[in-house]
Amino acid sequence: MFSKILIANRGEIACRIIRTARRMGIATVAVYSDADARAPFVQMADEAVHIGPSPAAESYLVADKIIAAAKQIGAEAVHPGYGFLSERTSFAEALAAEGIEFIGPPVGAIAAMGDKIESKKLAREAGVNVVPGFVGEIEDTGHAVRISSEIGYPVMMKASAGGGGKGMRLAYNETDVREGFESVKREGLNSFGDDRVFIEKFILNPRHIEIQVLGDKHGNIVYLNERECSIQRRHQKVVEEAPSPFVTPRMRESMGEQCVALAKAVGYYSAGTVELIVSGADASGESFYFLEMNTRLQVEHPVTEAITGVDLVEQMIRVAAGEKLPFAQGDIGINGWSIENRVYAEDPYRGFLPSTGRLVRYAPPSPKFHQAPFVSSEVETPAQGISTSLDANGPGYVRIDDGVTEGGEVSMFYDPMIAKLITWAPTREEAADLQIEALDAFRIEGLGHNVDFLSAIMQHSRFRSGELTTGFIAEEWPEGFHGAAAEPRLLEVLAGVAGVLATADADRAQRIAGQLNGPNPPPGDWAVRIAGEDRLVGLEEEAITVDGEPVALELEYAPGERFVEVALFADNDDEDAAPLETYGIQVEPRRAGYRLTTRGARHEARVLPTRIAHLAAHMLEKMPPDLSRLLICPMPGLLVKLHVEEGEEVQPGQPLATVEAMKMENILRAEKAATVGKINAAEGASLAVDEVILELE
């Protein structure tokens, strides 16, 4: 076994690998850029080596610097994590030339599966179902149009070396192909150094299912069940779960056997994932097709670990060291259900615009959620390596995989992920409920985040029913996200909470000399307006009325605190009774009230003493300025292309400009017919958020 390994990655995956290596008694080495000098993974590692400036192209993507660090520090092996150099054959070859072990698959398998065109040919030869499409190089846009017409719309255009949602465009007609083909080529070149594109049929009502495979250097390969990854936005996964609510045992076996056959055909070992697309319209469940094979660890690997008890990182390290897999296919089972949500620095209330900056406040869910960094394989079955430490009848647990800390920064140079929230429970419903409660407990301030949106998904009736497709988000929020719908019961609770907060703040203000003249309004004397309705909050000994019944409300609140935990109890004298419900609520003081955020939505609660509440109806609201004639950059980015000139007439939906941000190209379109007046930015310019690109007349 290795005594020291280097981790050629950053953030949460670097922290994740360090935890397992430490448990195995292996020393770890981190490499870091300028932007990550104070990052948690650097502090966690036993040793750290600086490798360059903040841009990944000058640090984490420079193989020579990482290899030099490994040699300098005496690392025997390198774990690449995912992204960056994890699927670069040249990197694995360079490590081998220096006698350093690559903790991943063989070079031949990386090369075969990394080329989306060649991988489809190999999959077909191995007997794997393949999506109909054009497997070959496409000359230009005209050629792409002809191919798309022959396949039949809709089609998907993909960069051959792509991944992570980059270099992909869906085309419903010839116009879409002409507009998107060059963008796909550019994204492929900029992100992966390869501008080749292939086109395939887009499966209607598709579900995205992937099979986790694991092999050793002795020819043993198993599949560790499936993950459902259908909930995506712009082809980027948002929610993952294991097992899938759609896959049947027969389907699982058929998928798994085909994926193992493909892995064997390329001599695969280590962890890998075969991605499949399944027609949700096929009740038989037999219409599944090969998409691609990712020859690395996946972001969503924790849900597989949760239901199988297998530490995939540990097994990757052991396989790289030459050990055999300690279990066979028959030893792999399914224990309970696991769901993972990706907490991103993006603002769903503003069209999911990337949000970078400092984490002024960062506190993940507390240990009360049965938090577990990893369910280790310390308690083993006869098939060594499979954990039996989970109680199938237990309450479940929450696992946080993150690589940030309070006061740290989410940089524009890297992926905007803040954390991965993983829950496990005996059933899918319980795992989803744990997600909702844990999401409420996240405390993130200083930048936008998608916690509300994730909570809304977990509560959504369609998600709860398991009726998922890759179009779920676009279909359920076609006009954008504005918060989860709140039930009347929740609004009654929030009105009561607002009254309690107002009483606490009034008491504090009265104690500060000169801030209040006379007594503060007595409990019960608050009029709370929330969701457009006025409620008189009766706060006699902290009792409120919910669904027409009195309940006791308990919360801990220090004036000025921005988070409260609320518990509702039956209105009786039983001091040992369990709460009926609990809520984690973010509190933001507002003028004459509070913004209360919980259960996936923000709620504005205006709180006034009843004697002056009638005046609220006459308070004037400031109207926002009209920005409809301005094309504003929605996120920090690079102006890649201007599609119009001054004086040009444009129609609704016509492309005006293309902005690249986080390695993704975003086409900004005209919202209405107009004439281009003044252009304020030139192609190649770096734009700030809300910077005016052009003006319309």
Residues designated as active site: 292
> 544, 566 in Cβ contact below 8 A?
no
From residue 690, give the alpha-carbon distance in Å to each of 394, 405, 650, 659, 662: 49, 28, 21, 13, 17
Q: From CA 337, how far away is CA 420, in angstroms rounded?
A: 16
Taking the CB of residue 219, how many other CB atoms lie within 10 A of it? 10
Give the three-state DSSP class for 19. helix
| 3-class SS letters over 475-503 | HHCCCCCCCCCCCHHHHHHHHHHHHHHHH
Token pair belonging to 650 = 């444009």
Token pair belonging to 217 = 């250097």
> 223, 273 in Cβ contact below 8 A?
no
Phi, psi for residue 347 in degrees, rounded to 5: -105, 100
Q: Which residue has 């409120």 as its token pair?
A: 544
Range list of β-strands (E), 74-135: 77-79, 101-102, 133-134
User: What is the DSSP code string of 329-390?
Assistant: GGG----SEEEEEEEESEEGGGTTEE--EE-SEEEPPPGGGT--S---SSSB-SSTT-B--S
* 116-125 and 249-265 helices, crossing angle to 10°: 110
Give the three-state DSSP class for 652. coil
Strands 655-661 and 630-632: unpaired
